Amino acid sequence: MKILLHACCGPCSLEPVRLLRAAGHDLTIAYMNSNIAPADEYARRLSTLRAWAAGEQLDVLEGAYDPAAWEACAGRVGTAEGDPARRKARCRACYRLRFEEASALAAEQGFDALGTTLSVSPYQYTDVIREELERAASAAGVQPLFEDYRPFYDEATHRSREMGMYRQNYCGCRFSDVEAATERAERKAQRAAAREAEAAAHAEERAAAETARAAKKAERAAYDAKQARKRAVLKALRDQERDEG
């Protein structure tokens, strides 16, 4: 099939492209990601994707970068603020906007199907990705081609690192940037707390061992003193016997 593959970045494209090409499909990549902020982050991800795609002889079609349109649909849902349902609703709106744009392009340019690389990440809402991809593609008269690529996430991570690809540390939108930074800070604090707890436990172990050594040393000293007293008494008795004899 002639497939338009919606891609969020270079690293997430590696395994989907490999698998789809192995299945014999003709691929073109669509970079339609108005969610990505700030603009220089958007450009950096696109540059990384284009550089890799050129080596793979893949065309990359760029959609309009329209952060205002994203803010109007997904941005208005706002931050999760500890509410998973709200975060999921924001991501759904984000997927919907991007898939609708990609579906329209696929229909306009005569592609047989629309796929996406978003399902590589275990941090995304895979079920929602599938629902929104199928909804948008079907509405545009294009076949939806959903694949759950999560089993290949580790391989994609390994390959992209080996290739020296730029790897972003948040999904893309301004909310995910803050959320990811918060999660990283929490993990860092947890690791620091774990190290402190481990150090404290080791300190207690060392203190207990030192106490045990000191007790054993004192016991040995007491024993040696007792033996010394015995020897002194025996010597005194021997001396006395010698003097009397």
| Residue 147 falls in which region: left (phi positive, over 0), alpha (psi -120 to 50) or beta | beta
Q: 62 forms bridges with which residues in the sheet? A: 31
Q: What is the largest CA-CA distance in the chain?
A: 129
CA atoms within 13 A on the CB side of 158: 6
Output DSSP code: residue 62. E
Rg (CA), the chain: 34
Q: Which two tokens stand for residue 226?
A: 């007792």
91 labelled ligand-binding? yes
Across the chain, the runs of DSSP E, i.e. the strands, are 2-6, 26-31, 60-62, 113-116, 143-144
171 labelled ligand-binding? no
Residues 176, 77 contacting (CB under 8 angstroms): no
Q: Which residue has the tokens 């349109």?
A: 69
The sign of the dihedral angle between the CA atoms of 128, 130, 136, 138 is negative
Across 46-140, the runs of DSSP E, i.e. the strands, are 60-62, 113-116
The CB density around residue 146, as the number of other CB atoms within 10 Å, is 19
**Summary count for the chain: helices (H), strands (E):** 7, 5
Annotated binding residues for [4Fe-4S] cluster, written as ranges, equal 8-9, 91, 94
Annotated binding residues, written as ranges, equal 8-9, 91, 94
